[in-house]
Structure 1
Amino acid sequence: MNYLVAVLNDRIQAEEAYSALERDGLPMESVAILGRGYKSADEYGLIDPNEQARKQSKLMAFWLVPFGFVAGFCFNLITKLDTFPWAGELGNQAIGGILGGLAGGMGSLFIGGGVGLIVGGGDALPYRNRLNAGKYLVVVKGSDALTRKATTILRQYDPENLQGYFYSSDV
């Protein structure tokens, strides 16, 4: 599936581009306008990188906290560290497990959330920022031939940005 995204400065320009695509016979179910008065980024399905980072962090915590607990417990069991003499042998192992679980939680927060925030959004964040700035996106979704035809039409409207994407379900 191919996507073509054009960033246009105002609503009139976006509507003119949409009408030109319609006049040239592009199927209108493949064309969408995003912006004030039209579809929002969420309605169209642009990924919010902050939401993705939270999901990634929670998923990592689901695995890392219990793994960290078991690793901390086993480390203390193997090394027989007596860090807290008042806690006894089992207490030291439990404290090691708790500290390991906390380390796993911190890892999921910093790595899962941080990496997700940096790379999770891809190009969605710049497009969201342009929508927030009052610009409009014209998105064409379809075959390679359809997006090539749309590219020649949309170039006439001197878009701020014109970007094509190819997504394969085989990857």
Structure 2
Amino acid sequence: MGNSVVVVLSERKRLRQLRDQLAAMTPPPLRLLAIGTGEEPVEAVPELNPKLSRQLRQRSMARWLLPFGFLAGLTFTFITDLDTFAFAGPVGSHLIGGLLGLGSGFMGSFAAAASVSSELDDRVRALRNRLEEGNWLLLVEIASGLEMPWATLQSAKPKALVRLNDF
């Protein structure tokens, strides 16, 4: 993951010129993504789509919470020695407890992903509003450790430059 900046431009012509200038740099940016009418839709960009970010966060959390939930449910049935699921036998009872823990971990991944609000929400909302006003966005991502080409970005006379992450 590199450093990301979104450039807000009022004209599509400037967007294309800036994209071409940045693509010709050595080394080129890791990612140059034009967003707006006739370009990439904003819904396809995880950095600018809170719903998509939340889904990715939920999947990531589920990867951790599902196995731990299963082990917690299994452990709970061994520790408490309750016969809640006695009809399933001793092994089945513990297995059902583990599966219930797994389900709890799955539900917890949704709750945890929804409760985390990104610090970028306000910046992303402002960028989406700029798109609705008829502007175009250029997402520029450079490798970590490299300097962002600020002079080139400023030469396109952008309406705004928004950092998506700290340098």
Please tell me the TM-score bracket, short chain as reference: 0.5 to 0.7
Are the structure 2 counterparts of residues 67 and 165 from structure 1 closer, same or farther at C-alpha, using a change threshold of 3 Å? Answer: closer
Structure-2 separation of matches of 1:108 and 1:147: 39
Shift of 1:130: 3.0
Structure 1: which 5+ residue stretches go unaligned?
none
Conserved 8 A contact 2:69-2:98: yes
Structure-1 separation of matches of 2:148 and 2:87: 74
Shift of 1:80: 0.7
- Higher Cα radius of gyration: 1
The corresponding residue for 2:130 is 130
Shift of 1:109: 1.6
The corresponding residue for 1:35 is 36
Structure-2 separation of matches of 1:141 and 1:70: 40
The alignment status of 1:103 with 2:104, answered yes or no, reads: yes
The corresponding residue for 1:119 is 118
Are the structure 2 counterparts of residues 78 and 16 from structure 1 closer, same or farther at C-alpha, using a change threshold of 3 Å? Answer: closer
Shift of 1:106: 0.8
The corresponding residue for 1:71 is 72
Structure-2 separation of matches of 1:66 and 1:32: 37
* TM-score, length basis structure 1: 0.61
Shift of 1:147: 0.7
* Identical positions, percent: 30
Structure 2 residue identity aligned to 1:93 = H
Conserved 8 A contact 1:61-1:104: yes
1:12-60, Cα deviation, whole Å (9 max, x unpaired)? xx535876x69xxx93526875321344447777553322322332232
Shift of 1:64: 2.0
Give SS of 1:73's match. helix
The alignment status of 1:163 with 2:162, answered yes or no, reads: yes
Are the structure 2 counterparts of residues 120 and 94 from structure 1 closer, same or farther at C-alpha, using a change threshold of 3 Å? Answer: farther
* TM-score, length basis structure 2: 0.62
Are the structure 2 counterparts of residues 167 and 100 from structure 1 closer, same or farther at C-alpha, using a change threshold of 3 Å? Answer: same
Are the structure 2 counterparts of residues 46 and 104 from structure 1 closer, same or farther at C-alpha, using a change threshold of 3 Å? Answer: closer
Conserved 8 A contact 1:57-1:109: yes
Conserved 8 A contact 2:46-2:52: no
Conserved 8 A contact 1:49-1:125: no
Count of paired positions = 155
Structure 2: which 5+ residue stretches go unaligned?
25-31
Q: CA RMSD in A?
A: 4.0
Structure 2 residue identity aligned to 1:63 = W
Are the structure 2 counterparts of residues 56 and 85 from structure 1 closer, same or farther at C-alpha, using a change threshold of 3 Å? Answer: same
Structure 2 residue identity aligned to 1:163 = V
Structure-2 separation of matches of 1:113 and 1:52: 10
The corresponding residue for 1:147 is 150
Conserved 8 A contact 1:33-1:138: yes
